[in-house]
Amino acid sequence: MNLAWARQKDVKKSEWIVFGVPDQSGSHAKRKGSVFGPKKIREISIDRGIIFRKGEESVLQPEKGTLKNNVTDYGNILKKNVRQFVREAVFHGKKPIVIGGDHSITFEVLQGINDVMKDVCVIYLDAHPDFICSSNKYYGSVICDARNLSNINLKKSVEVGTRAPEKEELVNLKKQHLRTITPIEIVEKGIKDVVNEIKRIVGKNVYLSIDMDVVDPAFAPGVSTPVPGGLSSKEFIYLIKIAELDILGFDIMEVTPRHDIQDMTSHLAAIAIEEIVSK
């Protein structure tokens, strides 16, 4: 089953390549089930993104921009193959859309981008900083692991929506001078000013990583580690339109369908993909 807006069968004609990574091996969460995220997001994109009228198919359009026939759904791949797949995709001018799975998959993606691109910055949307350095190669060490990649520039990167750091992470964030924007700061400054600040921080080569727990569980309950006080769905959709920066690619991680309510989280994740690829 393909994502609803992945209609281009010829990869050579595509700008975006979707692939799922149904893997939660890097998760330490008590709530399991992110392995089912790719399947559910695809299902919901079709169930709620396509309307049939008199036998004719109508694809619902994004809030801003229009959909182009430039997205191919490659299916699922193993986590161990992500780095090579991303490396080849980016080398050939394609933009990966990665559906997880747990957030440790993002490090595999960044390794692939690091192999072929220089001076890459990351916009990291997450309720947690993921900056644990006392452990590695799991969903809580993504940023620390990425710090050691030669072409990933954390000085031009930014974390958004963080609100549940561990003490170690606060120390590491301070040492790295990584800009972190909390939901409270978004309330104080306003979402538009925050987006403008992000645009001033980041460089030319931008990768967007999304943990769906960045959204408040009132809007996205089906995640591995929910934390109250997050973004509203409206703030989230506005924020991800920062993809107008012409990003290198993006991922959406940590959707956990078995803990969702009426597929709210999967639906929002599907809408996020639609909004980002629209122009």
Which tens digits make up the pLDDT trace of 11-56?
999 999 999 999 999 999 999 999 999 999 999 999 999 999 888 9
pTM over 0.85: yes
Give the ranges where the chain is alpha helix by DSSP (H).
37-49, 82-91, 105-114, 142-147, 167-176, 183-189, 191-201, 233-240, 264-277
Q: What confidence category does residue 243 fall into, taking pLDDT thresholds of 50, 70 and 90?
A: low
Q: Report phi then psi at 213, rounded to 5.
A: -75, -5
Predicted pLDDT of residue 44:
98
Predicted pLDDT of residue 46:
96
Which domains does the chain carry?
A: 11-277 (3.40.800.10)
Predicted pLDDT of residue 195:
94
- Name every residue whose Cβ is closer than 8 Å to that of residue 167 and which is 6 or more positions away in sequence: none
Lowest mean pLDDT among 17-21, 53-57, 106-110, 166-170: 53-57
Residue 244 above 90 pLDDT?
no
Per-residue pLDDT tens over the stretch 129-157: 999 999 999 999 999 999 999 999 999 99
